Amino acid sequence: MTATSLATIGLSVVLSSVTALAQERPYFVTYDDQLAKPRELELSALSTMGTAKDGGSRYVAPWIELEYGVTSRWTAELYLESATYRGDGSAFTGWRLENRVRPFKGDHAVNPVLYVEYEDVTEASRIQKEIVGRGPLPNEPIAVLDKEHEHEIEGRLILSSWVRRWNVSENLIVEKNLSENEGVEFGYAVGVSRPLAEPDVTCRLCAGALTIGVEMYGGLGSTSGDADAATRQFVAPILRWQVTRGGQFRASVAFGLTTTSDRALLRLGYTIEVW
């Protein structure tokens, strides 16, 4: 499945939007404590477009998310991803299976969520839904990178707080490559957001349909590897727009803060509730 195929599927899903009210988080990397409702299925079509600082290829990495509420405190997601490198070709880069669980009932001053994800992806993956470890992304041709498969386990401790309409979320990320002896890599993501006004599901062009915020994310090194290499660090303003009763559009532009970070990452996404 190529990047073009995934984009076509995503577009067809967007055009067939239904009328339920989606509740997708506004962030792209940071997770808050919001989970899907029981037996609720959400579908998202997203993409990451990047420009490297070191002269590497520009790329676009579309992916699809299927999110399902198993119970009121357990949400599962399936990811299908691909990548296209400018002037170099396209590839299906793998899949991921994610689980998020709220260990405690009710709302608290700080709401913890436990996150576990299994990844079967290649080195050509560029969706960058987490940033961990040190050093830049590899810049070999996509045909070479796509042959290097990785089986990884990612865990997160998600902490999320709500103060009136403000959300503040912090994620500590731990990732282990099961295919190579690379030690354990660490990362983080922090997000702050709020709607511009009291949410109003009847108005699409009102302030209540818009949520703004900012997230910052990056690597925190690893237990092995080059300790002198710089970590990748990004800061990203974000916007979420309740386009229809059942559909939400998200966008962000992440700016690289270190020499090993991409110059910029443009992220776009659309989410609908299927049922």
**How confident is the prediction for the chain on average, in pLDDT?**
89
Per-residue three-class SS string for the chain: CCHHHHHHHHHHHHHCCCCCCCCCCCCCCCCCCCCCCCCCEEEEEEEEEEECCCCCCCEEEEEEEEEEEEECCEEEEEEEEEEEECCCEEEEEEEEEEEEECCCCCCCCCEEEEEEEEEEEECCCCCCCCCCECCCCCCCCHHHHCCCEEEEEEEEEEEEEEECCEEEEEEEEEEEECCCCCCEEEEEEEEEEEECCCCCCCCCCCHHHEEEEEEEEEEEEECCCCCCCCCCEEEEEEEEEEEECCEEEEEEEEEECCCCCCCEEEEEEEEEECC
The yes-or-no verdict on residue 201 having pLDDT over 90 is no
**How many structural domains are present in the chain?**
1
pLDDT of residue 246: 81
Q: What is the mean pLDDT of residues 155-178?
A: 96
Average pLDDT over residues 23-29: 88
**Averaged over 19-46, what is the pLDDT?**
86
Range(s) of the domain holding residue 223: 3-273
- Token pair 């997601």 is found at 77
pLDDT at 14: 37
pLDDT at position 181: 79
User: Residue 152 pLDDT more than 90?
Assistant: yes
| Residue % of the chain over a pLDDT of 70 | 89
Q: Which domain CATH number covers 170?
A: 2.40.160.40
Work out the average pLDDT over 192-219. Answer: 89
What's the pLDDT at 4? 45
Which of these ranges, 41-50, 180-189, 199-208, has the smallest mean pLDDT? 199-208
Give the global pTM. Answer: 0.89
pLDDT one-digit tens code per residue, 46-99? 999 998 777 677 999 999 999 999 999 999 999 999 999 998 999 999 999 999
pLDDT surpassing 80 at residue 3: no
Q: Residues 1-14: what's their mean pLDDT?
A: 45
